Amino acid sequence: MNRTSAPVDGPATGAWEGLVTTALLGTDRRTPPGGGPGPEAPVALLDAAAVETVRRRAGLRPARTAERPQPAPEDPRPPLPPAAARRLALLLADRPGASGGGRRGTAPDLTELLPQWLAAANARGFAPPPQVLPALLDAARGRTDLRPSALEFAGPRALWLARLNPDWRFALRSTPGGGAALPHLEDDDGVRQLWQEGLFAERVSLLSALRSRDPAAARDLLATTWSTERAEDRLMFLDSLRTGLGPDDEPFLEQALADRSRNVRATAAELLSALPGSALAARMAVRAEACVAIDHTQATQAAGGTEPSGATVATPTIAVEAPHECDADMERDGVVAKAPAGRGERSWWFGQLVEAAPLVTWSRRLGGRTPREIVALPVTDDWQGELHAAWCRAAVRQLDAEWSRALLGEPSAPEAGGPGAVSLAERAKLLGTLDAAERAEWVAGFIATHGLSEAFQLLGVCAVPWAPPLGRAVVDALNIARDAGSYPWSFSGVMGLAERCLDPSEAGRLDALLAVPDEPENASPGAGGYWSEAFQRLVTTLRLRAAMTEELNTP
């Protein structure tokens, strides 16, 4: 019979602990056994530890072996083509920071190509070679952004390995049902049992899976235990209702507005405000309408047209009267009464009301005007920034593309942004409500007018690979910066994005940019060599990406 060894209990255990304590305290503070203080004390301690180590090993007795692990599950997916498998091994062998900093030269950054390779392999339904799974899990352990795609590609054997190696336990937490297999969603008894008896992570996975398949069934399951859940758990469960959110969820969310947890109430109010037809949205509309109106008494100086030049004319203007208090009903509907530090209470309450009101409110309230016409109206008393920022948040929450277009404005506008967008982050969120083609076209127009200095966040929301107009706009802007002798390192972020996002078919257009350019008198020292290296690396990376795709497509 196969046996392992187990330590014998006895006095030796106490002796070993005494040596460990002495080593931790230091021989200056505690004399080792069998020796005296002085310079020889450390040597005496090590001698005693060596003797005790032999004694401990000699005192082991046989014990029964642990149960053998179950065989790894089969992966039914087709194997990778051989060339693609070799490519994966190379990508996993590359380590971040191996270059030691400084200039990157012309070599592609393989660590940045690994996420793209995994996405392409997952789209084709391939299974990984078993021998690369440890390296794949190590890579995912070090990069949380890599985990979803890496674990999807690793498949069922990743969970099998994770149960054997504590370093990979993240896979059990990151994979739905990683701790235990989810029951079939048609198995009502199994679903109910796991919901009532499962660990929190298993219950979240179960609710998310059921919500994706049958939103009403997931909501009904949550309702069965809602009143007995902890506040932090109720918040996580409630967040799962974002998937498949619809009018049928309104009664449950209305009840959650009376929850004893402020965070739960706030989340329920946010979800209800994303349903323009909800009763909460209607209540918010009434409150917001009371704060905003058209003022026809504002006068401006005419600059021409049908009125004599210099004549005084009335211009429709948006007047704002922010609320003077935040009552209990407003708080129940999700309005946070206490303003952040440095923020006025009235403007804080006002912004929350406008953000939660359905955007269709404003055409009715402001004379039947379109979103573009409304955004173009002047606003009295410096309320424009607050009002437009709240409209931005509402457009993102309600996924309203028409309002997003109005707030973004034309990408070629003189200002580096639309009439309502108050920051690059706001513009990026508004772009997220548009379809991929329109998003790429808008960002391309923005870059053509304003260059790349403010475009990094906007590029991050565009679909990969970039559409041809956007790719051309980025390359043209980089070329202009290169010819102008601009400080090259300030464009390294955009260049890195281009390596990952530019369509590989654009590589041929870049050959003319590989030579070291003549540097203008006011150029940064060494800029020409840097630009040449950067474009060579870009071309090399694009061709490598094309080869990766071809390898995955090879039978």
What is the pLDDT at residue 100? 43
Q: Rounded to whole angstroms, how far apart are CA atoms 313 and 316?
A: 10
Q: Cα–Cα distances in Å, from 283 out to 273, 277, 334, 532, 553?
A: 10, 11, 11, 60, 55
Q: Rg (Cα) of the chain, in Å, rounded?
A: 32
- Per-residue pLDDT, averaged over 168-173, amounts to 84
Q: For 202, what's the count of Cα atoms within 13 Å in the CB-facing half-sphere?
A: 16
pLDDT tens digit sequence for 396-446: 999 999 999 999 998 887 665 556 556 788 899 999 999 999 999 999 999
What is the pLDDT at residue 378? 93
Phi, psi of 127 (to 5 degrees): -105, 145
Tokens 């949205």 sit at which residue?
281
Out of 10-14, 25-29, 187-191, 245-249, least confident range:
10-14
Kind and range of the H or E run holding 459 = helix 456-459
Chain-centre distance for alpha carbon 139: 18
Q: For 92, what's the count of Cα atoms within 13 Å in the CB-facing half-sphere?
A: 21
pLDDT tens digit sequence for 106-136: 788 888 899 999 999 999 999 999 999 999 9
Identify which has the larger pLDDT, 310 or 465: 465
pLDDT tens digit sequence for 460-475: 999 989 999 999 999 9
Q: Rounded to whole angstroms, how far apart are CA atoms 365 and 303?
A: 29
Going by DSSP bridges, is the β-strand pair 312-314/292-295 parallel, antiparallel, or unpaired?
unpaired
- Per-residue pLDDT, averaged over 172-200, amounts to 74
Q: Quick one: pLDDT band at residue 187, thresholds 50, 70, 90?
A: confident
SS3 194: helix
Residue 6: strand pairing partners: 61
The answer to whether 249 touches 271, Cβ cutoff 8 Å, is yes
- Per-residue pLDDT, averaged over 222-235, amounts to 93
Identify which has the larger pLDDT, 308 or 185: 185
Tell me, what amino acid is at 334? G
What is the pLDDT at residue 415? 66
Say yes or no to pLDDT of 98 above 50.
no
The answer to whether 61 touches 8, Cβ cutoff 8 Å, is yes
What is the pLDDT at residue 13? 60
Chain-centre distance for alpha carbon 39: 57
Q: Rounded to whole angstroms, how far apart are CA atoms 269 and 224?
A: 21
What is the pLDDT at residue 95? 61
Strands (E) located in 392-448: none
**Cβ atoms < 10 Å from Cβ of 182:** 19
pLDDT tens digit sequence for 272-306: 999 989 999 999 999 999 999 998 786 554 445 55
Tell me, what amino acid is at 362? W
Angle at the Cα of 303 from the Cα atoms of 297 and 304, rounded to 5 degrees:
110
Non-local CB neighbours of 160 within 8 Å, separated by 6+ positions: 70, 72, 73
Tokens 């299974």 sit at which residue?
127
What is the pLDDT at residue 174? 64
Q: What is the mean pLDDT of the chain?
A: 85
Q: Rounded to whole angstroms, how far apart are CA atoms 368 and 374?
A: 9
The answer to whether 332 touches 258, Cβ cutoff 8 Å, is yes
Non-local CB neighbours of 97 within 8 Å, separated by 6+ positions: none
**Which of the 8 DSSP states describes residue 293?**
E
The answer to whether 504 touches 544, Cβ cutoff 8 Å, is no
What is the pLDDT at residue 225? 94
Give a three-class secondary structure readout of 438-501. HHHHHHHHHHHHHCCCCCHHHHCCCCCCCCHHHHHHHHHHHHHHHHCCCCHHHHHHHHHHHHHH
Structure tokens at 266: 């706030």
Chain-centre distance for alpha carbon 109: 22
Angle between helix 436-450 and helix 424-431 axes, rounded to 10 deg: 150
Q: Cα–Cα distances in Å, from 446 out to 155, 410, 451, 471, 473?
A: 42, 8, 7, 13, 9
Burial class (CB in 10 A: 0-12, 13-18, 19+), 191: buried
465: preceding bond cis by omega (within 30 degrees): yes
What is the pLDDT at residue 513? 76
pLDDT tens digit sequence for 490-499: 788 888 899 9
Q: Rounded to whole angstroms, how far apart are CA atoms 482 and 198?
A: 59
Helices (H) and strands (E) in the chain, counts: 27, 6
Give a three-class secondary structure readout of 238-258. HHHHHCCCCHHHHHHHHHHCC
SS3 61: strand
Residue 293: strand pairing partners: 319
SS3 430: helix
